[in-house]
Amino acid sequence: MSATGPRKLPIVVLISGSGSNLQAIIDAAQAGLPVEIRAVISNKAEAYGLERARQAGITTRVLNHKDYPDRESYDAALAAVIDDCGAELVVLAGFMRILSDGFVRRYEGRMLNIHPSLLPRHRGLDTHARALAAGDAVHGATVHFVSPELDAGPIILQARVPVQPNDSPESLAARVLREEHRIYPEAIRWFAEGRLKLDQGRALLDGKPISP
C-alpha cells in the first residue's frame, strides 16, 4: 500500500446494452474496489451503458461490428483498443458478441464474463425463459473465465436464485440481475487483489481450485 492506497488494476469493460453490470462495477470502484476503468467499449452506439460511463467520467469507445468485413478484423481492432488502454483485465458485461478463438486466447486468464444462468445449464440466449420452460426450481448467474467454447469457461462464482411459481422471464431476470450486480464486483475484486488465477484450465482462488 502506498500513500494513495493500493494499486488499482487497469480494466476495460465491454458492453452492448443497458450496462447495469457496468454501473455496479462503477459504483464498486467508487466505493473502493481497486480497479481503474480505463474505457468502456461498446459494439452499439445506442447502448445506454455508454451514457452511464460518460456520467462517471469514463472514456467511451464505439466499435461497430458492421464497419468490419469479418469477425477476425473486428476482433483485431477491438484488441488494439484494449491494449492501447493498458488494460490488464477485460470485463465482458453484456457484450453480446461471439469472440474469435484468437481473441479469446490473447486474453486467456485475464478476461471474465457474466452469464445469466447457473452454468453449465442454459448456455446462450433466452436463459430465463428456458429456465422457466424447463421447470427449474433454481436459476441464477455465473461469473467465469472466458474460454473459446461459448459460455463454457472455468466457473469462478455463482449466485442461486429460487424460481417462484408466478415468475415471468422478466421478473426472474430482474432478480437474477440483482445478484449479478453483487457477484461480478466480488469476482473482479478477487482478480484485482491477485487472489484469482486461471491455471491449466482451472480457476484458482488463493491457490485452491474453485468448485461451484
Per-residue cell: 28: 464498486
- Residue 61 CA to residue 56 CA, distance in Å, equals 14
Pick the binder of ligand GAR from 9, 21, 35, 118 (CB under 6 A).
21
Supply the minimum distance, in Å, between the C-beta of residue 150 and ligand GAR. Answer: 8
Pick the binder of ligand GAR from 94, 140, 153, 185 (CB under 6 A).
94
Supply the minimum distance, in Å, between the C-beta of residue 205 and ligand GAR. Answer: 21
Q: Which amino acid is at 87?
A: A
Which of 66, 64, 45 minimizes the C-alpha distance to 54?
A: 45
Which one-letter DSSP state was computed for residue 197?
A: E
Pick the binder of ligand GAR from 52, 115, 122, 175 (CB under 6 A).
115
For ligand GAR, the closer of residues 15 and 111 by Cβ is 15
Per-residue cell: 87: 488494460
**115 catalytic, yes or no?**
yes
For ligand GAR, the closer of residues 98 and 137 by Cβ is 98
- Residue 22 CA to residue 141 CA, distance in Å, equals 16
Rule CB under 6 A: which of 43-82 touch ligand GAR? 49
Pick the binder of ligand GAR from 10, 20, 79, 88 (CB under 6 A).
20
Helix (H) or strand (E) holding 170: helix 169-192
- Residue 30 CA to residue 96 CA, distance in Å, equals 26
Contact 130, 123 (CB under 8 A): no
Give the alpha-carbon dihedral of 61, 63, 64, 66, to 10 degrees: 170
Q: Does 93 bind ligand GAR (CB under 6 A)?
A: yes
- Binding segment for ligand GAR among 51-59, 77-85, 108-116, 201-209 (CB under 6 A)? 108-116
Rule CB under 6 A: which of 134-163 touch ligand GAR? none
Q: Which residues bind ligand GAR (CB under 6 A)?
A: 15, 17-21, 49, 93-94, 114-116, 177, 180
Q: Which residues are catalytic?
A: 115
